[in-house]
Chain A
Amino acid sequence: TQLLEQSPQFLSIQEGENLTVYCNSSSVFSSLQWYRQEPGEGPVLLVTVVTGGEVKKLKRLTFQFGDARKDSSLHITAAQPGDTGLYLCADTGGFKTIFGAGTRLFVKA
């Protein structure tokens, strides 16, 4: 059974700071997705990466996929309070989606 580990589990930072969160898999990803979930809502897809070494940018968010397709990072530049939420990485192994435990980010104004 594939296991996804995310670190750190919790992160509290000041507005304007940069941060990086990580996702590591016990096996090669089929396709890696990053989601953000706000309290009381469903997860919202941020990005999907498939190719090893791929880098994608979404405004202040930069997603990197490891060459071996077993790890990924999400970097946020100049964090804002609106970035607060639970960041989840996931692998859709062709059919089912497996989620990591998530990184809970809190950005203080």
Chain B
Amino acid sequence: GAVVSQHPSWVICKSGTSVKIECRSLDFQATTMFWYRQFPKQSLMLMATSNEGSKATYEQGVEKDKFLINHASLTLSTLTVTSAHPEDSSFYICSAGPGLSYEQYFGPGTRLTVT
């Protein structure tokens, strides 16, 4: 149980285009999901907290107009990188928990490369 999936697993896009990444909880409902970014050989940095039915909460320094988050249902959150630039190239990971537990389960990540 407690499986989180992401789609796509990798994507290459041209500078200036937008890319949507999906995060799904497959066997549980999640009112809250988290989006992280990980640069090569670095740790995970929390970007934003995705809240079902309401606006996402962004961490300091993360542009909300550039990283659009939509949590349309209890099993799906999407992250859209708008007007992508090469510096947005990174590994994007989402996580979710099955309830009030502090434990989170991570998706397999999405490798974004912007050319």
User: A: which residues have CB within 8 A of B?
Assistant: 30-31, 33, 35, 40-45, 48, 88, 92, 94-102, 104
Contact = CB atoms under 8 A, between A and B. Distances in A.
Contacts of A100: 43
Contacts of B98: none
B103 A42 contact: no
Nearest to B105: A45
Interface of B: 4, 6, 32, 34, 41-46, 49, 91, 93, 95, 102-109, 111
Contacts of B41: 104
When A and B form their complex, which 5 residue pairs have the shortest distance between CB atoms, in order from nearest? A42-B106, A92-B102, A101-B43, A99-B43, A99-B44
B108 to A, nearest CB: 5
Given A41-B109, A42-B108, A33 B43 contact: no
B42 A97 contact: no
Contact of B95 (A88, A94, A97): A97
Given A42-B106, A45-B104, A48-B103, 8 more contacts: A31-B102, A35-B106, A43-B93, A44-B106, A48-B102, A96-B46, A97-B95, A99-B43
Contact of A94 (B32, B91, B102): B102
Contact of A40 (B43, B46, B111): B111
A43 B102 contact: no
14 contacts: A40-B91, A40-B111, A43-B44, A44-B106, A45-B105, A48-B102, A88-B44, A92-B103, A95-B32, A97-B34, A97-B46, A97-B95, A97-B104, A102-B43
A79 to B, nearest CB: 21
Contacts of A35: 106
B46 to A, nearest CB: 6
Contacts of B109: 40-42
Q: Which of B91, B106, B107, B108 has the most CB of A within 10 A?
A: B106
Contacts of A101: 42-43
Given A31-B102, A48-B103, A96-B34, A42 B93 contact: yes
